[in-house]
Chains A and B, each alone.
Chain A
Amino acid sequence: MAEAHFNANKIFITLFILTAVEVAWGSLVPYEMKPALWGGLLIFAFWKGILIFQYFMHMKFEGWIVKCLIAPTPILILIVYFALLPDVALNDDTLYQVGDQLDPENGEVVEIGKGSRNLVLHAGSEEDGGH
């Protein structure tokens, strides 16, 4: 077992303060200022995540076997997110937007904002009425 020499109370208080600051950041920064809002929130979230991972999960004090065991995971995460990047960055060029729906009656695509949501709700209410 890894011998963990760290001050758990200190880590706990740091996590506590970071959460308070994060919530304040999320409340005070306007929702429209996305770069500032998202940037700040992600910094706080990753900071807290690293503290939990390194100290509470003892990764800082583990040997090379355990570190090697978990090392492929961040690489795989990066691969997954790089693979998803085109879907994020090129969504203006996609044929259909997220939220578009297929009308089952005539087989046409109803765009979001032009009644696609009503289509789903309408279909749901028809089903309810049928029972």
Chain B
Amino acid sequence: MSKAVAAYDPAVDAPAHHHPIFDYDSGPPVDRGKFAIWLFLATEIMFFTGLIGTYLVLRTGAPSWPNPAERLAVDITAFNTFVLIVSSWTVVRALMAIQKGDQGGLVKWLGLSILLGAFFVGVQAYEYLELIKHGALPNQDLFWSTFYSMTGFHGLHVIVGVIWLIVLWIGAVRGKFSAENCVAIELGGLYWHFVDLVWVLLFTLVYLM
């Protein structure tokens, strides 16, 4: 028996777990959640690009286009736009609060954001009901079909955003977040700001132009 074979010790030379252990992270140098949410937002941007592009083609191709101010309640929607901008600011305040370790502030600002988001959806639902009551249905003409498509898809995104904020708020009430563990708040906030950003463009295109 050679010396090498005699020195063979299975416990040392062939351990059960012999995966290599690296001293570096093989993932991208950014939080995985943030990486995922930005990828998702990129697809969302392209989704709304398609909607807005279709709107522009249909609008410029139509022989005439009604003045939106004659068909829509611009003043009410302008107020609703203010509401959404305020909600974006309150989400920023919520993130700032938890980054300082202020859990009470997080609960307060997230709660306010949820109320503002729900108010926005409520006003939009009211607007739809009033329009439908007056016979403004999506199949009436191009103006209404594009109006309902764009604002409807945005409204669905706001509803998803409100649900997301509610989930975060429940976590905040239970004390799940801290200054060191607040990425989830940042990710929810990113989605909410994106919804706000899209509305800024849609409000201009659909209601003012």
Enumerate chain A interface residues (CB-CB to B < 8 A).
Answer: 1, 8-9, 11-12, 15-16, 19, 22-23, 25-27, 31, 37-38, 41-42, 44-45, 48-49, 52-53, 56-58, 63, 65-66, 69-70, 72-73, 76-77, 80-81, 84, 87-88, 91, 94, 97-99, 112-113, 117, 120, 124
Contacts and interface: CB of A to CB of B under 8 A. Distances in A.
B61 A31 contact: no
Interface of A is mostly: helix
A49 B69 contact: no
B88 A56 contact: yes
B46 A76 contact: yes
B67 A15 contact: no
A124 B139 contact: yes
Contact of B30 (A31, A63, A73): A63
Interface in B58-102: 58, 60-63, 67, 69, 74, 78, 81-82, 85-86, 88-89, 91-93, 96
B60 A91 contact: yes
Contacts of B141: 99, 117
A17 to B, nearest CB: 11
Nearest to B186: A1
Interface range for B = 35 or more
Contact of A26 (B28, B34, B63, B208): B208
Nearest to A38: B209
Nearest to A63: B30
Contact of B39 (A19, A26, A69): A69
A63 B29 contact: yes
B28 to A, nearest CB: 5
Contact of A12 (B62, B85, B205): B85
